[in-house]
Amino acid sequence: MAKFEYAPAPESRAVVDIRSSYGLFIGGEFVDPAGGTSFKSINPSNEEVLADIAEAGEADVDAAVKAARKAYTQTWSKLSGRDRGKYLFRIARIIQERARELAVLESLDNGKPIRESRDVDIPLVAAHFFYYAGWADKLSYAGFGPDPRPYGVAGQIIPWNFPMLMLAWKIAPALATGNTVVLKPAETTPLTALLFAEICQQADLPPGVVNILTGAGESGRMLVQHPDVDKVAFTGSTDVGKAIARSVAGTPKKATLELGGKAANIVFDDAPIDQAIEGIVNGIFFNQGHVCCAGSRLLVQESVYDDVLTSLKRRLGTLRVGDPLDKNTDVGAINSAEQLARIRELSEVGEAEGAERWSPECELPDRGFWFPPTVFTGVSQAHRIARE
């Protein structure tokens, strides 16, 4: 299958106004971190520094939790579900109004193709807020009894693969059910969470109902261990999830852990191969493969193995790797240098274990964090690349 040549179709960056630096969002305002430390948010497609980001320390975590507790006690818990829903509807409408801005910023900070952030992520973000806005005054019908009660202050930690969508999954249901939130986005993708803080201001959300703390793993650890956090919600690696489970064990805190896993795709000889390959490729390479449900292992019945492999290679050869802001791009940049190093390490391990590695001819940009679509064959379940 020939790869058609398309003229560049870049999305404009002019719709986004990125500040040179960002503080922490605590009590409805952006504030400087108590320790004065910061880190840089990097555009993974070209290693451009996008902004300096404040790093939350212990005093900042404490201030954010106190702001969330005050908002919960004095304001949010006293509102009816109907009134909470009004705020969520307002946030949802603002997200729709600023959808293009959010999509461009997501692709700049994360590296995912603009088609995905524009057509999938941000519309779903708005949809989640609309959905939970509708639930806010109907909680007595949700199966938790006639008068379900909120936990209080929720400490939430999200990963970098779907920054805004993960934010919506965490914040929207928490607010709808009467909780206040302290959220820590991933250190490599903080910018859309900080823009969401501006949206909270624009929606006149009561101060302290949503607080955004930026920082790395240590900031998240302090949030999880804060004694006045009632509920911990975490999406990320299994190792960190285990550490959080140990941390909250024996305390009154509730915890929700989404630790993900990679399912296998299975192709039998009665499958329509072209349709199967299309679904497999879309699933595996969506969001550069950084999806908890990506079928990163492909199990094929021997009688159709050669046909499936030929079709798979042919389809991979048509994927367009390049500028995430180009609307023709299928596969964007890897999110960070650290993640790229991990991918390279596992790929080298795969070859060392005896698996056969194949990638289509693929011209990668000179700068940024890039990796070509890659398939390993001759892999057993004992191989590390199959297990990890």
Residue 202 to residues 137, 183, 199, 223, Cα–Cα distance (Å): 23, 18, 5, 26
**Exposed, middle or buried by CB within 10 Å (0-12, 13-18, 19+), for 239?**
exposed
| Contact between residue 114 and residue 327 where contact means Cβ atoms under 8 Å apart | yes
Rounded CA-CA distance 276/256 in Å is 34
Phi/psi of residue 247, nearest 5 degrees: -65, -40
Per the CB < 8 A criterion, the answer to whether 332 and 107 are in contact is yes
Helix (H, G, I), strand (E, B) or coil at 255: strand
Q: Cβ–Cβ contacts within 10 Å for residue 232, how many?
A: 25
Q: Is 134 helix (H, G, I), strand (E, B) or coil?
A: helix
HSE-CB for 277 with a 13 A CA cutoff: 18
Question: Would you call 353 a catalytic residue per the annotation?
Answer: no
Q: Where are the alpha helices (DSSP H) in 158-272?
A: 163-176, 191-202, 217-225, 238-248
Identity of the amino acid at 26: I
The DSSP result for 179-209, as a single string, is -EEEEE--TTS-HHHHHHHHHHHHTTPPTTS
Active-site hit among 198, 258, 353, 362:
258
- Under a CB-based contact definition with an 8 Å cutoff, are residues 181 and 151 in contact? no
Phi, psi of 49 (to 5 degrees): -75, 120
Nearest-10 crossing angle of helices 81-97, 163-176: 160
DSSP structure string for 287-318: GGG--TT---EEEE-GGGHHHHHHHHHHHHTT
Active site residue 55: no
Please identify which of the residues 101, 292, 353, 362 carries the catalytic annotation. 292
- Active-site annotation, residues: 258, 292
